[in-house]
Amino acid sequence: MQVETQHIQLAASSVVRQVLANGRNLTQVLDDTLREKAAWQPAQRAALQDMSYGTLRFYGQLRVMLDELLHKPLPDERVRFLLLVALYQLQYGKSAPHAVVDHAVRASQTLSPRVSGLVNAILRNFLRSQPALLEQAAQHPEGRYSYQQWWIDELQAQYGERSKTILESGNQHPPMTLRVNHRRGSVSDYLASLMQLGLPARITGPDALQLDKPVSVDKLPGFFDGKVSVQDAGAQYAARSLDVHDGMRVLDACAAPGGKTAHVLELAEVEMLALDKDETRLQRVEENLRRLGLSARLLAGDAAAPEQWWDGKPFQRILADVPCSASGVVRRHPDIKWLRRRADIDGFAVQQREILNALWRLLEQNGKLLYSTCSVFQQENEQVIATFLAQHQEARRLPVVLAGHPPDANEGQLLPNDQHDGFYYALLQKIA
């Protein structure tokens, strides 16, 4: 099926509008849109995803430049989102500028016939004034970093000069990292298999391989046979930090979609309970385990209310990968940068403390609990743990062994870089 670029631009502008104007989740909107465009070719679907992700990734910069180009409000907000997509293509895409402009003009005619001349003028003015517009955008923090102002202020207050690197890392394309299933083969053997297929990669952890270039999973040897999974290197630290051994009773308290659950089971023969509040998301856990040839007991339940589902038998290891702002994984989910509000962070911290206190009661004497988030905000990480330790004299904090890689900042805090996303880990042991 031949799909003209203007139709992809229109679809991407609709995706971006649903996220920014309606507050919808980018992944869900894209999934819905791609189902509607089932007849599109892979290249067209990839272009839609790139335009949608890219426009949201650099929305702050694109918005400032568009505002400089507009001299009066647009008659239709849909045209504004189309212009943002086109600006992303002109600034970051590889298509010929004249083609991007021409397609955007055609696309605008389907939205409002009277605005095509305006769209043409705005985009051609951008091409003439591009260096000056980029410089003007850089004068505004939101235009320079493409985050909300409160987010920028928060990171600057917590990390000082390091905040610039954190912000910039969040706007990069994320690496594609694999986790080799040790039950099906070694990391070195799988690396050799990749090389034979012309897929260069490098070892970045005891179970991790980072591909030089991302590929679809159907290109990965043995993926559907359970030899390998896609999982960020930072997320892979959880299972090894938990210090699991054969025969242990283990709880993964917020398990979906199941990557960490599976990794624990790949490392040891344990009695695993995979819990998640969302019964639908537990289906993803089941699918992942089935592909990998692993098994666990799956249970829908609220980690903050164990009295509703716990059988009274203590666990020797608990993984508390708690709900969080996901501020450490924004390069994979750029919509988060624009949908989160400052008040959300305090709300997550309240929920995290509730879950941590509830799960602590389920841990046996001398057992270990690993607290984990994919956040870089201290309110959800170090401050939660400090409050917990002050209230629980029977809790001792242990060093987190991050596969030989020292944390980037505070103990257990991994900041996003070219090898992994941003994560936080705190290992707690219950003592007498």
List, for residues 364-389, the tens digit of each pLDDT value: 999 999 999 999 999 999 999 999 99
The answer to whether residues 300 and 412 belong to one domain is yes
When pLDDT is averaged across residues 255-272 and rounded to a whole number, the result is 97
In a domain, 280, yes or no: yes
User: Which amino acid appears at position 355 of this protein?
Assistant: I
* 8 A C-beta contact, residue 245 and residue 268: yes
Residue 369 to residue 367: CA distance in whole angstroms: 7
Question: Would 373 be classed as within a structural domain?
Answer: yes
Are 87 and 199 in the same domain?
no
Q: What percent of the chain has pLDDT over 90?
A: 94
Residues 262 and 393 in one domain: yes
Question: Do 195 and 237 belong to one domain?
Answer: no
For residue 158, tell me if it sits in a domain.
Answer: no
pTM of this prediction? 0.94
> Are 105 and 201 contained in the same domain?
no
pLDDT for 38 beyond 60: yes
- 184 Cβ partners below 8 Å, 6+ apart? 222, 225, 226, 227, 293
Mean pLDDT of 243-270: 97
Predicted confidence at residue 247, as pLDDT, reads 97
- pLDDT single digits (tens) 334-348: 999 999 999 999 999
Contacts of 287 (CB under 8 A, 6+ apart): 258
Q: Which band of pLDDT confidence, cut at 50, 70 and 90, is reported for residue 403?
A: low
By CB neighbour count within 10 A (0-12 exposed, 13-18 middle, 19+ buried), where does 337 fall? Answer: buried
Range of the structural domain that residue 205 is part of: 177-230
**Domain final position from 210, 230, 250:** 230
Specify whether the CB–CB gap between 137 and 61 falls below 8 A. yes
Which of 205, 230, 255 corresponds to the end of one domain? 230
Q: What is the CATH number of the domain that holds 271?
A: 3.40.50.150
Same domain for 189 and 127: no
On the question of pLDDT at 409 being above 80, the answer is no
What is the predicted pLDDT for the residue at 114? Answer: 87
Cα dihedral across residues 176, 177, 179, 184: positive or negative: positive
Same domain, 287 and 411: yes
- How many structural domains compose the chain? 3
| Alpha-helical runs (H) found in 70-148 | 77-92, 97-111, 116-138, 141-145
Contact between 292 and 229 under an 8 Å Cβ cutoff? The reply is yes
Active site includes 374? yes
Q: What is the mean pLDDT of residues 129-156?
A: 97
Catalytic residue among 191, 194, 374, 415: 374
Q: What token pair was written down for 140? A: 């505004």
